[in-house]
Amino acid sequence: MKAFFVTGTDTGVGKTFVTSAIAAYCSLDAHLDVGVMKPFETGLPEGGRSCGDALLLKEASGSRDALPVIRPFAFSAPLAPETASAMEHVEIDVAAVTAAFGRLAESHDLLFVEGAGGILVPIRKGFFFIDLVKEWKIPVVVVSRLGLGTINHTLLTCRYLTREGVAVAGVVLNDTDGLTDPAKGHNAEMLSRYLDVPLLGVFPHHGRPAGRQDLARLAGQYLDMKPFLA
C-alpha cells in the first residue's frame, strides 16, 4: 500500500490543484493506477453532490471509483466537518472512513487523500485530521501559499507534524493569487534554509488547466515527483 495525505497550511492554498496535478502526472506519465480520496468535503451547494473537489480529483487521476467511495461524507455548509455534520445532523463514522481508505489503497498502485483546510481541522469532537493521518500511518504533503506569511505557517505545520511522529514527504508552494509580493521572491530560499523536509517545488500562478494533460505537464515541470514514484 502506497498513499499520501495532502494537507494545507490553511484553506484556499490550492490543495486540490496540487493533488490533481500530482495524480494526473502519476497516472499519465508514470502509468500508475492512481486512486484519490476526499474523505470529508464541505461547502457543496444543495443538490451539488456531483461537483466539487472530489470530482476534480477523480477526473484528474482517471479514477473509475464512484464519487460516494471517493467522498464518503459531503456537507453543504462551508465549515469544518465537525460543525457541518452537526448542523446537518449527520454522525461521522471514522471507522467507516478508515475502511474505505483501506479498500481504495488496496485497489490502486498509489492513493492520494486530500484533507480539508489544515491538519488541525476537527473532523468530530476531539478528533482532528492529524489523528486520522496518525491512524493511517501515511506521509503528508504540505501545500502552502507562496506569499507573505508562508514561512511561519509552513514551519509551524511541518514542525508540528514531525513532533507528532508523522512523516512529511515535502512542501509545495503555490502562487494562489499572482499578485506582486516581494516575499514571493525569497520565501522558497528561506524555507529551504529552515525546513527539515524537502521543498518539492513552486507552482507559479496559472489559469485553470484545460485537462489532465495540462495538470500532468505542470507537475512534471515544477515539482520533484521522485517521492511519489520511489
Place of cell 502562487: 175
What's the rounded Cα separation, in Å, for the pair 76 and 85?
A: 9
What's the rounded Cα separation, in Å, for the pair 219 and 99?
A: 30
Residues in the chain: 230
Q: Is 189 exposed, middle or buried (0-12, 13-18, 19+ CB in 10 A)?
A: exposed
Q: Which amino acids are annotated catalytic?
A: 38
What's the rounded Cα separation, in Å, for the pair 32 and 20?
A: 14
